[in-house]
Chain A
Amino acid sequence: MNEDVYMLGIETSCDETAAAVVKNGREALSNVVASQMESHRRFGGVVPEIASRHHVEQITLVIEEAMQQAGVSFADLDAVAVTAGPGLVGALLVGVNAAKALAFAHGLPLIGVHHIAGHIYANQLVTEMKFPLLALVVSGGHTELVFMKEHGNFVVIGETRDDAAGEAYDKVARALGLPYPGGPHIDRLAHEGEPVMDLPRAWLEEGSYDFSFSGLKSAVLNALHNAKQRGEEIDPRQMAASFQASVIDVLVTKTAQAAKEYGVRQVLLAGGVAANRGLRAALQEKMKELPDVELVIPPLSLCTDNAAMIAVAGTVLYQQGKRADLALNANPSLPLV
């Protein structure tokens, strides 16, 4: 690549309206995120219709802000990349149609990006990606182990069979009476308690890299329920610590196993749950067993949903000659291929 590539990224798959400009797939010139968390808090979770309404209100403002911060005009852009899925369909549609309108109005190539590919490629804003690599993607909607032998080549070697890890966090948090979103609260409480309770770990069948968190979630809810019936009180700190220990044990053990089996050079952490201190620390500790494998954990602002990661993944696809046309649609269950 001799010429610089300026990519506008747009992301509206859930409750963040986001736009960013990334240069050469490595440098975020801007990364604007308008969060709707306050608006959804009163409902205890993201309400799809309300998320979609907020996206329409915010979309052009956020894109303009991203372009102004980056100091670029439409004439400077090489292409527009947008999250095409997976996610909430009504929310995705706003970003997809805004991106198509921009591409058409300014004669720019259009690139459809997979949300998880974006999360993985957020790491390219931190360091060079070295293949083959393994990405552990953990968020409110996803828990996946993705093997990449080269750019743009994704093989999902493990995924959750029921709840995503972040989902289990939110449900357990609610049962403990913690405010939405619950993940950070559990992480905080877990550090004040000890994992003294024996909670299940779903290893599944031998050699499987899949995950399952619904049994763990049920065990927590049952324990809380039974204690209440007996008039006993469970220390939420002990429960948070025990729950978190169980989740992290499975995530970290399977990640290390897969890293070994697939002979990867790098392990990347991606997704909103990557902000979890317990997970970061445990993964760092475990990966000491594999000194030849580099562990990359991006900063928090690149772990949660953002558009810079979409622009990075879009740049890779752009350089591979991949293009979407104006019939590009949102696909809430878009497969990662």
Chain B
Amino acid sequence: MVAQNAAAMWNALRGIVCVYKPAEASVRKLRRDLIMKICKGLNEVDENQYYRPFKPHTSNATELIQQSVDRSVDLRDHPLVYGPKFDELDLSLSWSNFLGWNTSGVLLFGLRSGTQSARYIRENRSSRAYRIKGVFGQATDTGFKNGKVVERSTWRHIKPFHFDKILSAMQAAHQKKMFEMSGIDMQSQLAYELAAQGPIRPINSKLPIIYGIKCIDYEGPEFTLEIQCINEYETYLVGLIHEIGVRLHSTAHCTAIKCIRHSYFNLDHALLSRHWDLKNILQNIRMCNRILAENEHVLKQTSIALR
């Protein structure tokens, strides 16, 4: 199934790859690691074969051609002289959603021409789901567990009933905001038709909107929330937990943030960094490309409605 030829593999490395980002690692580091592992894998496939053309900045070169070179005459292509055939600078790779340092979960990378798809996914503002863990009773200066505790409070008065009430109020406020942010007169026919379609996406990529927020687990001071949202970022989610704590007449801080879904990609599709080898990456690219082909609107949005 997987080609045994580095040139064929290189030519197949196009599209989206879905990886798992652990907490306490930067996206930049993951990108560097992924590039390094792919290039290392490619260089090990067939060590004695030469490929042309191979000049600096071949990132846009479409196809590689296999070519035999007489090594006794021309030493320029000798692996000890020219270095590895697949240079890390030649592989373009960009992320489509940025996860902060403390966030773990699904991360999409675009490889070579897939960087374009990664950009479209980002600009089309697809929805994401998060699972956030928090603790009542302590507020930290960063809002996350690694910060210094700056305030302590009681939390035993908080019952699941209060919790649900405040969360549904928040969700309702966000739904109202969602229609306001669409930039349409609320009394018009168009606004009615839009509302009939269901939730809609904001016009701006800077405004975080929450579509669904619910508590899935509440034990002792610890709780877990599941949030469906758009345009969010790590500090926003951390701030949200803090706000929930304050509204419940207590304090709270985050202990874990995990992205469990990004448009149609979820944790089952994500590759653990241990599995980053050529075979798995190529399989993952094929799978992600299939998902993108099945759901065209991820790349090409025609409607404002949330899908």
> Does B associate with A?
no
B residues adjacent to A (C-beta < 8 A): none
